[in-house]
Amino acid sequence: MTTAREAPTPAQTLTFGSLSITFDQRVLTPRTWTVAQSRWARELLDTVPPGPVLELCSGVAHIGLLAVDGTDRRLVCVDVDPVACAFAEANAGAAGRSGLVEVRRASLDTFAADDPFPLIIADPPWVRSELVGCFPADPVLAIDGGTDGLDLARQCVDVIDRCLHAQGAALLQLGSYEQARVLDGELPDSLVLSETRGEPGRGLVVLLARPEPA
């Protein structure tokens, strides 16, 4: 039996910053407010060491692709959803970056990297499980963050802790300042939350980095 999730749907295209991003209703529609996350990431690329950018829970790769647009940085996109990964590859090609983008279908707990990343972008689902029914147009996989909305964010923090360069930076998307406060209290000693930028009523992004040497 074919489910709504599996059924082919008409592709849509929207303008995301300087890019045209294609998706359909089987994946999360890109939120235009997250252009701010891409622009913050682009700012950080001028200060972090050389090397590729890692995007976790990348979806159709719009945030990561806009972050590296106009640079020669490689981008590694990681998502568990095969439909999202297919759109990420298509969007990389449309942006003229097929040779600079690697899309990996993998869960966060199985992702491994040989070398550290100077910049990590993480876009986990952050809606509490009890509230996912309030967003019927959104695929549950793409928005369900568990009981407190932080299950996938915590997994992203684990990957960031394993994979972040000593002089690197990570941008993690969350749903509220309360979630940021909770997660800040759980961070390992090897990471600090140093800045928060929010979009009222939409979401926010926190900057994680290694602590300054004593």
CA angle 184, 110, 104 (to 5 degrees): 100
Cross-strand pairs, 166: none
Alpha-carbon gap, residue 187 to 199, rounded angstroms: 23
| Residue 33 CB partners (closer than 8 Å, separation 6+) | 199, 202, 203
| Residue 160 CB partners (closer than 8 Å, separation 6+) | 56, 120, 122, 170, 172, 191, 208
Question: What topology does CATH give the domain 12-209?
Answer: Rossmann fold (3.40.50)
pTM, rounded to two decimals: 0.93
pLDDT of residue 68: 98
pLDDT of residue 165: 98
Residuewise pLDDT in 10s, the chain (214 residues):
333 445 567 899 999 999 999 999 999 999 999 999 999 999 999 999 999 999 999 999 999 999 999 999 999 999 999 999 999 999 999 999 999 999 999 999 999 898 999 999 999 999 999 999 999 999 999 999 999 999 999 999 999 999 999 999 999 999 999 999 999 999 999 999 999 998 767 899 999 999 987 6
